[in-house]
Amino acid sequence: MRSPKDFFRPLAVGAPQPVREVPFRPSRMIHFFDPSNPKMAAKVPDIAPTVDVLLGNLEDAVAADRKEAARAGLVEIAAKTDFGDTQLWTRINSLDSPWALDDLLTLVGAVGHKLDVVMVPKVEGAQDIHYVDRLLAQLEAKAGLERPILVHAILETPSGMANVEEIAGASPRMQGISLGPADLAASRRMKTTRVGGGHPGYLVRQDPSGDDAPRATFQQDLWHYTVARMVDACAAHGILPYYGPFGDIKDTLACEDQFRNAFLLGCVGAWSLHPVQIAVAKRVFSPEPGEVAWARRVMAAMGDGTGAVMIDGKMQDDATFKQCRVVAELADALAARDPELRAAYDAATTAVLDQE
């Protein structure tokens, strides 16, 4: 166990100083693309400005005989593309695969100065993060990087779930954690073949009413406990939680519902696997203008956030002030990136405050 006083020391001579606080940058959608697919690669310049995070995927969905092509494709795309304010991430192959080491050796040396986050799949415990942490420090030092590349873990195994708190606090590089529902379902032996979302068989039934009338059923969320525990672990360690993929590309309504559940529980974003999901994630993980206006109204009325006030017959105190500050600060961060949102938030706030 490392001494707390050494936690923020670089793990290699010449490596950049670790971050002391995870920078909160809008990441409503982590948009995946396959760098080995020429059609997807050709669309990167057009898609990059429309998303918060663009992720070059090297792991699942990339066939074994295309792994090296995907890695080389990502290097080429990163080298020639101006991503502007869009973050560039990659998902490397799992640490027990024959490709993970070369993924890191190649990417950090070639395009590490453009790479914001490395997503590590199937993280089992803090030991996996420690391995990546030390290796990245050595590679950063060798490449002469001036800032550290952050690490994002995917929650995909029962061991990872059992160790989620220690994973979240394993390194100052930790940026966040995503739910990986498909692999987690398989490793838990859950009886579902869906990638995220609910299941019609996971339900509660209305109590009998004493006659033979039909009894209503209500579908439940398979992932509520998992997401809530992940959110708590991330919040406790100052990192960011994300919902992962929603596999039914055509069912945008159910995708929106699942994303909104995650948003309400505390997630800051989700994965998008197809361009149609970009708009869904942008809509869901951006607070409604009316909510932002209300939050700003409460904050304006409460001043320093102490005490209590009555607004429209409802008591607001320091706890609601903190809730409102979460919404307002998220809105400010998104507005700085999205002019349309900024205009909508400002208009709603002006309309509300003018009524005072």
CA angle 150–175–21, rounded 5-degree value:
95
The reply, when asked if residue 147 is annotated as ligand binding, is no
The conformation of residue 108, written as its DSSP 8-state character, comes to H
In the chain, the largest separation of any two C-alpha atoms, in whole Å, equals 76
Phi-psi region of 201 (alpha: psi -120 to 50; beta: other; left: phi over 0): alpha
If you compute the radius of gyration of the chain from its CA atoms, what whole number of angstroms results?
22
| CA atoms of 100 and 105, how far apart (whole Å) | 9
Whats the size of the chain, residue-wise? 356
The reply, when asked if residue 215 is annotated as ligand binding, is no
Q: Say what angle helices 38-47 and 67-80 make with each other, to 10 degrees.
A: 30
The values of phi and psi at residue 176, to 5°, are 180, -175
The reply, when asked if residue 116 is annotated as ligand binding, is no
> Within the chain, where are the H helices?
38-47, 67-80, 100-111, 126-143, 158-162, 164-168, 181-188, 224-236, 252-265, 275-284, 289-302, 318-335, 339-354
65 alpha carbon, distance to own chain's centre? 29
Binding-site positions: 91, 156, 183
Binding-site positions for Mg(2+): 156, 183
Binding-site positions for substrate: 91, 156
